[in-house]
């Protein structure tokens, strides 16, 4: 009997999530084709979609677990070689006396860390691995223009247009287009996903996108030049490259905006200013004076101008775009057995929980676990190739339906958490109430571990619980803590108030009696004490 034809899986998008999806499919023996709109992402000259580097990535347990399960033994070790552990936040500010301060807030009472990672490095490693696999083909500069998910066909425009500016200004001729067939398509093509756009024509998809009133702009704290470090002390030499602690996410919080800095392994920090659009517009209108922007930073982000020169601040503000932040929710994520969307294509989120990439990588792990669960293995099946393909498609349809049902509530949950965490990062980190709850939850986690208590952040970043379950448990813990505080503080206070009220009644009665008797005595005295 002829060998069964391998399943053809097409992945649209060669970012970290799409590349990992291609690796998972390739490890299962699929014939994999990856189509990417941009040039080879390993080429330093490739312009990212946002025309800037990106908000630095934080790799946490969910992403690590997905990489571990990829089937490639060297991937995780290579990734960790270029990461920096971050054990918590470092909050920067100025005291009323004018003195600068920084206060560390650990992420986890058990000492666990998240990892700062360079997106390009992770992406490059994944693409290197894919390129070496015989059943994977990479296509760069291919723009998806159409898809028929019933017939399992797609069309891509080959972006091989002119490179020089003069030629690009000329009227563009229609670019060549190719048609491809596939058994299964995975859309990992970002927040403005063409795969999702075409999927909407085949399913009744609920879709919502929301831009928050915040723009972001990128800056950089440059690496230091180490001096007077012993040649054999590699750790000291490494740390000497950093102007501030390399093991923290640095935050300059403000009421309506914030500035953050995330370390890179070359000693620099990628920094991001998050601020309402109106504030950006004001600074854009006044930036030519060369004074307003540094003064703004000195006022709201004390100490930054000692780390980034005023000239560099102004240059970055002028050169780097001021970009919006989008949040996307939709459902379902699939159509029959033909197509599914993952990562930002399914649930783009604001970056304030550091879970965008981690959630996307987790999507891939969960998706393929479900595909494996529903797959039918028939080593001695008498069925023909056509029957086997039909069975595989039916099983894949069941897996995709379960994937949508499972991941949609989790995506909605982490999207909401990411939005709420913006308030926490720019304001709540300074709140005594926030710090008290964090302290109580951490103490319960450390000293009464059998209760299973944990902070919401640790559940999100250091575990693989479903996001929706994390929210449910966190809300339960909040109610218990509130009830405990009411019981611990409120009951004694309430008892005291009851006692005072009762005592007041007695005192009031006694004083009233005295007043009445005093009046009687006064009248009696006026009558010469005669009855």
Q: What is the pLDDT of residues 12-32, one digit of tens each?
A: 999 999 999 999 999 999 999
Which run of H or of E encompasses 260? strand 258-263
Residue 265 domain-assigned? yes
Residue 524 domain-assigned? no
Residue 304 and residue 270 share a domain = yes
pLDDT at site 238: 81
Is the CB of residue 51 less than 8 Å from the CB of residue 234? no
Q: Which residue has the higher pLDDT, 137 or 235?
A: 137
Please report, rounded to a whole number, the percentage of residues in the chain having pLDDT higher than 70.
80
Instruction: Give the CA count within 13 Å in the CB-facing half-sphere of 184.
Output: 29
Residue of 42, 239, 213, 226 lying closest to 140 (CA atoms):
42
pLDDT of 424 higher than 90? no
Which run of H or of E encompasses 324? strand 323-331
Residue 2 domain-assigned? no
Q: Identify the bridge partners of residue 273 per DSSP, sorted by sequence position.
A: 217, 259
pLDDT at site 341: 98
Residue of 438, 443, 416 lying closest to 428 (CA atoms):
438
Highest mean pLDDT among 224-228, 292-296, 399-403, 439-443: 399-403
Residue 290 and residue 350 share a domain = no
Q: Cα–Cα distance between 482 and 207 in angstroms, integer?
A: 36
Residue 191 and residue 249 share a domain = no
Residue 93 and residue 38 share a domain = no
Q: Identify the bridge partners of residue 142 per DSSP, sorted by sequence position.
A: 158
Residue 354 and residue 302 share a domain = no
Task: Name the pLDDT band for 72 (thresholds 50, 70, 90).
Answer: very high
Residue 309 and residue 223 share a domain = yes
Which run of H or of E encompasses 380? none
pLDDT of 358 higher than 70? yes
Q: Which residue has the higher pLDDT, 389 or 12?
A: 12
Q: Which of 295, 327, 359 is the last residue of a domain?
A: 327
Q: What are phi and psi of 461, to 5 degrees?
A: -95, -25
pLDDT at site 164: 45
Q: Cα–Cα distance between 417 and 461 in angstroms, integer?
A: 12
Residue 316 and residue 369 share a domain = no
Residue 511 domain-assigned? no
Q: Cα–Cα distance between 123 and 116 in angstroms, integer?
A: 14
Residue 223 and residue 109 share a domain = yes
Residue 496 domain-assigned? no
Residue 19 and residue 52 share a domain = yes
Residue 513 domain-assigned? no
Which pairing describes strands 334-335 and 323-331: parallel, antiparallel, or unpaired? unpaired
**Confidence (pTM):** 0.84
How far CA 410 is from CA of 15, 294, 403, 420, 430, in Å, comes to 22, 41, 11, 15, 29
59: Cβ–Cβ under 8 A, 6 or more apart, which residues? 79, 83, 114, 115, 116, 117, 122, 357, 358
- Give me the helices (H) in 83-202, please: 119-132, 165-169, 194-199
Residue 289 and residue 343 share a domain = no
Residue 200 and residue 286 share a domain = no
Residue 388 and residue 370 share a domain = yes
Residue 517 domain-assigned? no
Residue of 262, 273, 251, 265 lying closest to 221 (CA atoms):
262
Domain count, the chain: 3
299: Cβ–Cβ under 8 A, 6 or more apart, which residues? none
Q: Which of 306, 327, 348 is the last residue of a domain?
A: 327
Q: Which residue has the higher pLDDT, 397 or 163?
A: 397
Range of the domain at 144: 7-82+118-162+174-205+332-430
Residue 482 domain-assigned? no
Q: What is the CATH number of the domain that holds 255?
A: 3.50.50.60
Q: Which of 365, 398, 430 is the last residue of a domain?
A: 430
Q: Which residue has the higher pLDDT, 181 or 424?
A: 181
């Amino acid at each position: 009997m002829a060998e069964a034809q391998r399943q053809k899986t097409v992945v649209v998008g060669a970012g970290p999530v799409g590349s990992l999806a291609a690796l998972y499919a390739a490890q299962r023996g699929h014939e994999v084709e990856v189509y990417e709109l941009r040039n080879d992402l390993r080429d330093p000259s490739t312009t990212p979609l946002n025309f800037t580097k990106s908000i630095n990535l934080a790799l946490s347990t969910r992403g690590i677990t997905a990489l571990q399960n990829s089937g490639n033994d060297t991937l995780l070790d290579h990734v960790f070689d270029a990461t920096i552990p971050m054990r918590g936040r470092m909050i920067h500010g100025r005291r009323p006396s004018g003195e600068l301060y920084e206060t560390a807030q650990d992420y986890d009472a058990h000492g666990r860390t998240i990892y700062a990672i360079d997106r390009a490095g992770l992406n490059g490693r994944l693409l290197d691995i894919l390129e070496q696999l015989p059943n994977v083909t990479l296509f760069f500069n291919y723009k998806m223009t159409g898809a028929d998910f019933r017939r399992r066909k797609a069309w891509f425009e080959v972006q091989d247009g002119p490179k020089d500016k003069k030629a690009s200004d000329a009227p563009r001729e229609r670019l060549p287009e190719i048609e491809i067939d596939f058994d299964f398509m995975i859309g990992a093509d970002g927040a403005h996903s063409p795969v999702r756009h075409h999927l909407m024509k085949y399913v009744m998809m609920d879709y919502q996108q929301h831009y928050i009133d915040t723009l972001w702009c990128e800056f950089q704290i440059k690496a230091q030049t180490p001096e007077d470090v012993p040649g054999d002390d590699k750790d000291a030499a490494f740390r000497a490259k950093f102007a501030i602690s390399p093991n923290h996410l640095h935050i300059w919080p403000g009421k309506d905006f914030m500035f953050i800095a995330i370390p890179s392994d070359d000693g620099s920090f990628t920094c991001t200013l998050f601020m309402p659009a109106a504030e950006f517009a004001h600074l854009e209108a006044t930036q030519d004076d060369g004074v307003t922007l540094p003064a703004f930073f000195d006022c709201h982000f004390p100490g930054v101008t000692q780390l980034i020169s005023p000239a560099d601040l102004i240059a970055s503000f002028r050169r780097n775009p001021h970009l919006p932040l989008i949040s996307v929710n939709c459902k379902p994520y699939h159509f029959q057995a033909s197509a599914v969307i993952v990562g930002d294509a399914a649930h783009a989120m604001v970056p304030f929980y550091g879970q965008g990439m981690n959630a996307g990588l987790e999507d891939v792990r969960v998706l393929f676990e479900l595909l494996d669960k529903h797959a039918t293995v028939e080593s001695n099946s008498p069925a023909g190739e056509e029957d086997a393909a039909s069975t595989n498609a039916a099983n894949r349809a069941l897996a995709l339906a379960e994937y949508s049902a499972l991941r949609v509530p989790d995506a909605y949950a982490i999207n909401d958490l990411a939005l709420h965490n913006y308030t926490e990062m720019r304001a709540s980190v300074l709140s005594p109430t926030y710090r008290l709850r964090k302290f109580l939850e951490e103490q319960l986690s450390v000293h009464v571990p059998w209760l299973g208590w944990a902070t919401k952040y640790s559940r999100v970043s250091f575990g693989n619980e479903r996001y929706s379950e994390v929210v449910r448990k966190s809300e339960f813990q909040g109610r218990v803590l509130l009830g405990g505080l009411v019981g611990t503080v409120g009951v004694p206070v309430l008892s005291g108030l009851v006692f005072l009220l009762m005592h007041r009644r007695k005192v009031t009665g006694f004083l009233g009696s005295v007043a009445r008797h005093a009046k009687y005595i006064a009248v009696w005295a006026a009558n010469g004490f005669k009855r």
